[in-house]
Chain A
Amino acid sequence: MLKNYFKIAIAILRRRKFFTFVSLFGISFTLATLLVLTAFIEKIVNDDYPDRKRARSLYLTGVEENGPQMMSSSSFSLSYVNRYIKTLKTPVNVAYYTGRVGTNTYHAGKKIGISFRYVNGSYWDILEFDFLEGRPFTATEVGNREKVAVITQGLKRKYFGENVNAVGQMIEADNQLFRVCGVVKDVPATTYMFNSDMYIPYTVAGNSETGKDFHGEYCAVLLGAAKSDLKAMQTEYDNVVRRLQPSDKGYTRVLSYADVYADAYLRTGNMSKPLKRWVYSIIGGFVFLLLFLPSVNLVNINLTRIMERSSEIAVRKAFGASSNTLVYQFVVENIILTLLGGLVGVVLAMVMLWIFNSAAIFDNVRLQLNPVVLGVGLIACFVFGFISGVYPAWRMSRMTIVKALKA
């Protein structure tokens, strides 16, 4: 029977080419958009170079103090990191790093923009950078405040050129000279927390490691032994924050959180009013509209098509098809149509991703379809096919045979 329905579905697609084009275009374009959007979100949220341990990591992006008349929100001071983050007992390791700082330097007659971060030694243990040359800086080098640096391949290319061994060479940034100890693969712009051209020991920055101020330039990553440690790490940090006294009498509350990656991403710069609910609602609403509007469109197209087939409906009923059988037939036909549209959508998505990757809109960001994304696409097709097929099919199956024969 399925073969029969398949034959009919293909024959109907061939019959009214314009309707077929409109239907397939709607489905394929919608699906392609959904696939590209999912690929993008997946790129941001899931493990990505060099942050490959997200499943057992928590991210601390800052602290907020607020009071009736004033509010202050920023990353952490180094003294805060030393007193309240490094002292946590549950994490097996802690990395801390500053935000990205930009500077210009002049080398070989060229102006080169360089971004850099100050990081601690454990940064290289928690994050999995691919070293193309050399090595990360050691704890001794950090302790000795040595002016060493790990640079990215892109910076090496800009500063030293291709086919040059950069390790051991000197590079100028922020009016200081650093000895290159390692070269790593470029970090995608979407890994915004760790993306940079250059990484320097935090001890070189000369920030005060003592003092009572909470606010500064540092963020942190807590690494658990296993995913099951996340809750315990969060609880421990929450307890620490709860006991904090505001740094100024104008403040009444201190807020800081250890979040999983996606939540930290959405909480950035907004401790007390995280964007998480808004963002999920907006994404959910967008996806709903993306599926709903073409489905409604497809329902209308299907209603028209089905009305044209009323004679066929009547004959099928006359020869033994029940209403349920006909609903099943039309839903299957519609699912075949949407799967075809889905195939076109996958090809269209691949083209869109190729264009996106070729245009290099974001540095070092390459999107791709993967099993999760394709799975989402397949489910979307089935949902599409079902939603847009079931109502017209039900309407048609209710038509009396006599009326359908006369139609």
Chain B
Amino acid sequence: MIKLHNIEKVYRTDTIETLALSGITLDVQQGEFLSVMGPSGCGKSTLLNIMGLLDEPSKGELTIAGQKIDRLSDQQLAHFRNKRLGFIFQSYHLINDLHVLDNVELPLLYRKVGAKERRRLATRALEKVGLSNRLKHFPTQLSGGQKQRVAIARAIVGEPEIILADEPTGNLDSAMGNEIMDILLQLNSRDNTTIVMVTHDEQMAKKTHRLVRLFDGTQVQ
């Protein structure tokens, strides 16, 4: 599903060059739940961003769902992300000015889905994460765990093939973290969604199919 070959990422400023990733070659199979671990600054989030087409590699090849990601225009990248990818962020990144239902509908807005259909799909997604009683609430009225559930609903509403989760339980206590993890595991097992998750939590990582460790931008496991 996701193929990375010799991926390298260099960040350049006027005076400094930082090698964030070097020689990363990785295959993620369809339906696989992969964890990525490593110390802070090892390049985990950079790797996830590259997989999610949120950032460009400096070198190397990336193929997602059989399509080589190479010199795609801004429009093409946006379309690809919309159709095939879903994102869950550590800080949720919900839009506070929109209520829960509008937040979850966001990906469908860019697919030009009609209002009724958007509503139906978003409601269904929220039911899957157990938040159907919070449709008209605003993010500021929700707990951390609830916010993350909304973020998950947003990520899955378009039924993407791949979900990329950057420390989805990082801002939650252990009880809530376990709840979120259970939802992700369910998505993976029930819907065969490919999930790549960055985490610091060894216990969470053990629940996934495979663990990849990074250290100083290189893969060590």
Contacts and interface: CB of A to CB of B under 8 A. Distances in A.
Interface of A: 1, 3-4, 7-8, 11-12, 15, 311-312, 314-325, 400-402, 405
Contact of A4 (B52, B79, B87, B109): B109
Interface of B: 49, 52, 54-55, 74-75, 78-79, 81-83, 87, 89, 93-95, 97-98, 102, 105-107, 109-112, 115, 154
B87 A319 contact: yes
A7 B115 CA distance: 14
B54 A320 contact: no
Contacts of B107: 319-320
A-B interface, 9 closest residue pairs, ranked by CB to CB distance from nearest: A320-B82, A11-B97, A320-B110, A322-B78, A319-B107, A401-B54, A322-B75, A315-B93, A402-B55
B17 to A, nearest CB: 17
A402 B47 CA distance: 12
A311 B87 contact: no
B106 A316 contact: yes
A4 B110 contact: no
B75 A320 contact: no
B93 A311 contact: yes
A324 B82 contact: no
Contacts, number: 73
Nearest to B97: A11
Contacts of B98: 4, 7-8, 11
A133 B110 CA distance: 70
A316 B112 CA distance: 14
A315 B54 contact: no
Determine which residue in A12, A311, A315, A324 has the highest number of CB atoms from chain B within 10 A of its CB, and name it: A315
A8 B111 CA distance: 19
A12 B95 CA distance: 11
A320 B79 contact: yes
A318 B109 contact: no
A320 B94 CA distance: 15
A315 B106 CA distance: 9
Contacts of B87: 315, 318-319
B93 A405 contact: yes
A1 B109 contact: yes
Nearest to B93: A315
Given A12-B97, A317-B81, A323-B74, 19 more contacts: A3-B115, A7-B98, A312-B93, A312-B95, A315-B87, A316-B106, A316-B110, A318-B81, A319-B81, A319-B106, A319-B154, A320-B78, A320-B79, A320-B107, A325-B110, A400-B55, A401-B55, A402-B54, A405-B54
Nearest to A10: B97
Contact of B78 (A12, A15, A325): A325
B78 A317 contact: yes
Nearest to A311: B93
A8 B95 CA distance: 9
A180 B140 CA distance: 79
Determine which residue in B52, B83, B105, B109 has the highest number of CB atoms from chain A within 10 A of its CB, and name it: B109
A7 B97 contact: yes
A7 B101 CA distance: 13
Nearest to B160: A319
Determine which residue in A315, A320, A321, A322 has the highest number of CB atoms from chain B within 10 A of its CB, and name it: A320
A309 to B, nearest CB: 9
B55 A322 contact: no
A255 to B, nearest CB: 63
Contacts of B154: 319
